[in-house]
Structure 1
Amino acid sequence: MKRQKRDRLERAQSQGYKAGINGRSQEACPYTQTDARSFWLGGWRDAREDKHTGLYK
Structure 2
Amino acid sequence: MKRQKRDMSERAYSKGYQVGVSGRSKDLCPDTNHDTWMSGWRDGRADNWDGLTGVSGLHKQHTLHG
TM-score scaled to structure 1, two decimals? 0.78
% identical equivalent positions = 52
**What is the RMSD of the two structures over their aligned residues, measured on CA atoms?**
1.9
Q: Structure 1: which 5+ residue stretches go unaligned?
A: none
Q: Structure 2: which 5+ residue stretches go unaligned?
A: 55-66
Larger Rg: 1
In the other structure, the counterpart of 1:38 is 35
Q: How many residues align?
A: 54
How far apart, CA to CA, are the structure 2 residues paired with 1:49 and 1:25?
13
Which of structure 1's runs of 4+ aligned residues deviate more than 2 A? 1-4
